[in-house]
Structure 1
Amino acid sequence: MPEQLPTDAARQGQRGQPVLIVLLASLAVLAVALVGLVSWQGANSPKDYASLSQEAARHTAVSPTTPPNPAPAPKPQ
């Protein structure tokens, strides 16, 4: 007949620190990845939409003292 082990002893893994080392290493890799993502995202992000819409409104607005744009000159052939 096989040896009977108590349930607590049967569920326990080996004693030591390999799991802790793997956990800490994975958290360190996660932290490096998050820092890289945040810095890359901040460098490539466009301006906020409010400033873009104000900028577009400034370009399309025509003041009353500004004469209308003349017709473009024909291109020489």
Structure 2
Amino acid sequence: MAQVETGKESRQGEKGKPVLYVLVAAVILAIVAGAGVLTWQGSVSPNDHGSQSTEAARSTATNPTQAPAEKKQN
């Protein structure tokens, strides 16, 4: 004979450790994916010369010994 359940019981999902395992695995995978994206993005992004010292910024300039020429206005 079939088991008789109430409406609430028939709509409930399974409880227990398998659900917890899926949740923990999903969180761990999200953390690993996030760390991978941040690592990859850091390796392919251009250098940030603005946060370095003035001397480091001057060493990357095209002509660090002269100030930029000002444009004449007509």
Cα distance in 2 between the residues matched to 1:3 and 1:20: 27
- Name the structure 1 match of 2:21: 21
Residues 36-70 of structure 1 deviation map (CA, whole Å, 9 limit, x = unaligned): 1111211221024868xx77xx4279x5xxxxxxx
Residues paired across the two proteins, number: 59
The structure with the larger Rg is: 1
Over the matched positions of the two proteins, sequence identity in percent amounts to 35
Structure 1 stretches of at least 4 aligned residues deviating more than 3 Å after TM superposition:
48-51
Residues 6-64 of structure 1 deviation map (CA, whole Å, 9 limit, x = unaligned): 2211112333211110111011011011111111211221024868xx77xx4279x5x
Cα distance in 2 between the residues matched to 1:14 and 1:36: 33
Q: Report SS of the residue matched to 2:14.
A: coil
Per chain length, whose mean CA-contact separation is higher, i.e. which structure has more relative contact order (CA < 8 Å, sep 6+)?
Answer: 2
Provide TM-score, normalisation by structure 1.
0.53
- Name the structure 2 match of 1:59: 62
Cα distance in 2 between the residues matched to 1:47 and 1:15: 50
1:1-77 mapped onto 2 (5 Å cutoff): 5-48=5-48, 58-59=61-62
Structure 1 residues without counterparts, runs of 5 or longer: 64-77
Provide TM-score, normalisation by structure 2.
0.54
Q: Which amino acid aligns with 1:24?
A: V
Structure 2 residues without counterparts, runs of 5 or longer: 52-56, 67-74
